[in-house]
Structure 1
Amino acid sequence: MAEKRTIRILIVEDHPLFGQGLRRVLELEPDFTVVGEIADGQVAVDKAPQLKPDVILMDINLPSLNGLQATRLIKTNNETIAVIVLTAYHDDEQLFHALRAGAAAYFPKDVMPSELVTAVRAAAAGNFVIEDIIMGRPQVAQWIRKHFEELAVFGESADEMFVPLSPREMEILQYITRGASNKEIARELGISRQTVKNHMSSILRKLAVNDRTQAAVLALRRGWVRLQDTTADA
């Protein structure tokens, strides 16, 4: 009988205690190998091609780039790498953003070890795990479409409601959480104030919030922006 293929796993998590716990759980499995632990989103993007993991366990609340940004960049450049997003903030919208960023699965951080182990094997095999159900790509597409339609409100496009923020929009959102004005953001990014306003309108629409304060609170609550990063320049 052929031996099981070893599944290479990269842990991207900035809390050492949680990261060490993940490593201990994973290393109990004879066909799992942890190839690294990284505590920074940008470093994960840079190192993924070198470490060649089959699966990445990705926190959302990370320095440099948040987990959704890092996932999108990794999947753009390394389609065969599967990403499982782990988050402290769990809701359907966060799930949709993770899937749209390219994640193969999404779990709250209190996931049972046995569930996570199953998901790692499923993701390594090219499948997706949603609500504890293992799906192929066609099933996932149908599931997403069905749930988008159910959650669309007031005649709005469900696709628009849950489309992930673009890299530029996420960058602007980070400035917003620091209290920067449109003029300050435009100067820092080298773009016009009107361009910033246009991005702001798109951010508010996609997040279904009324103003920049609500957008900042939502970004902080979901871990898209780290609280310490908002005071780094103070």
Structure 2
Amino acid sequence: MSDSQVGDDLRTLRLVIVDDHPVFRQGVRNLFEVEEGIEVIGEGASGEEALELVHHLQPDVVVLDINLPNMNGLQVTSRLKAGHLNTRVVLLTAYDDREQVLHAMRSGASAYCPKDIEPELLVDIVRRVANGLYVVDNHTFDEETLRMWLDAGVEAATGPYMIDPGEHFVPLSPREMEILQYVTQGKSNKEIAQSLGISHQTVKNHMTSILKKLDVRDRTQAAVYALKRGWVRPREADPDLKRDW
């Protein structure tokens, strides 16, 4: 073993935990605090706090819930990736499906885990992620094999004859996510435009992009899609949409 490898093995892994449920967050903290070579250096309860903690503390890994108030975990991950930060993201979700995985990994996550994951496995995944690997289900990837896996996953979800499958499962921009939140509240394009101070046509253009990225046919499907996956809080949604999911 080289001196650099020895140094990597001895270096303490610095971890931040973000989840808005205090009991769950404390449980995750307790899990990692007894692990040798891992130090929990911060915790938060919102997407905004996650960004602030990562920028300020620069941890090696952040364990991040997808379903957060205001700014969800996918939005946080996309912003961290856009900022070219070295912190690796392990996303946790209570809603686990194949399309959610594609959104998570294409947003820049290094791992995607259901919240009922075995504790020992979560610890192992955090260690693997800190070493530059990517983990989904029981599979571990490097950058090249992850890209191949994602391409295959998008093709399987959209069909082999899709003209441009690259348009689908692309992370929503901050503005698109903002518009989608209004859609889940039952707002029309005109009402959204007035609320955001943008043109009606701009909202329509964003909606077209949202439908392509989510691979859905209409705004109702888009709203239900976001609600089912925890991107938007149910209490903020139109009651009619809640009945659909």
When normalised by structure 2's length, the TM-score is: 0.89
Partner of 2:217: 210
Kindly state the Cα deviation for residue 78 of structure 1 after the two structures are TM-superposed.
4.3
- Comparing 46-55 with 83-92, greater Cα deviation is found at 46-55
SS of residue matched to 1:162: coil
Partner of 2:130: 124
* Change in 2 beyond 3 A, CA 1:150/1:217: closer
User: Does residue 1:193 correspond to 2:200, yes or no?
Assistant: yes
Kindly state the Cα deviation for residue 177 of structure 1 after the two structures are TM-superposed.
0.9
SS of residue matched to 1:225: coil
* Change in 2 beyond 3 A, CA 1:102/1:129: same
Q: Letter of the 2:210 partner, please give it.
A: I
Give per-residue Cα distances to partners, 1:110-142, cap 9 Å, x unaligned.
111111111101111111112222221111112
Counterparts in 2 of 1:25-64, with a 5 A limit?
25-64=31-70
Unpaired runs of at least 5, structure 2: 1-5, 239-245
Kindly state the Cα deviation for residue 154 of structure 1 after the two structures are TM-superposed.
6.9
For 2:89 and 2:64, the matched residues in 1 are separated by 7
Which among 14, 17, 24 is matched to residue 20 of structure 2?
A: 14
For 1:228 and 1:173, the matched residues in 2 are separated by 15
Kindly state the Cα deviation for residue 152 of structure 1 after the two structures are TM-superposed.
2.5
Partner of 2:174: 167
For 1:98 and 1:11, the matched residues in 2 are separated by 17
Partner of 1:71: 77
User: Does residue 1:106 correspond to 2:112, yes or no?
Assistant: yes
Kindly state the Cα deviation for residue 64 of structure 1 after the two structures are TM-superposed.
2.1
Dislocated runs of 4+, deviation >3 Å: none
Q: Letter of the 1:186 partner, please give it.
A: A
Contact kept? 2:92, 2:112, Cα under 8 Å: yes
For 2:89 and 2:229, the matched residues in 1 are separated by 18
Partner of 2:145: 139
User: Does residue 1:95 correspond to 2:120, yes or no?
Assistant: no
For 2:160 and 2:83, the matched residues in 1 are separated by 37
Which among 219, 230, 233 is matched to residue 226 of structure 1?
A: 233
Aligned positions, number:
231
Q: Letter of the 1:41 partner, please give it.
A: G
Contact kept? 1:25, 1:113, Cα under 8 Å: yes
For 1:202 and 1:97, the matched residues in 2 are separated by 15
Unpaired runs of at least 5, structure 1: none
For 1:204 and 1:149, the matched residues in 2 are separated by 17
State the Cα RMSD in Å.
1.6
SS of residue matched to 1:180: coil
Which among 30, 40, 55 is matched to residue 24 of structure 1?
A: 30
For 1:151 and 1:63, the matched residues in 2 are separated by 28
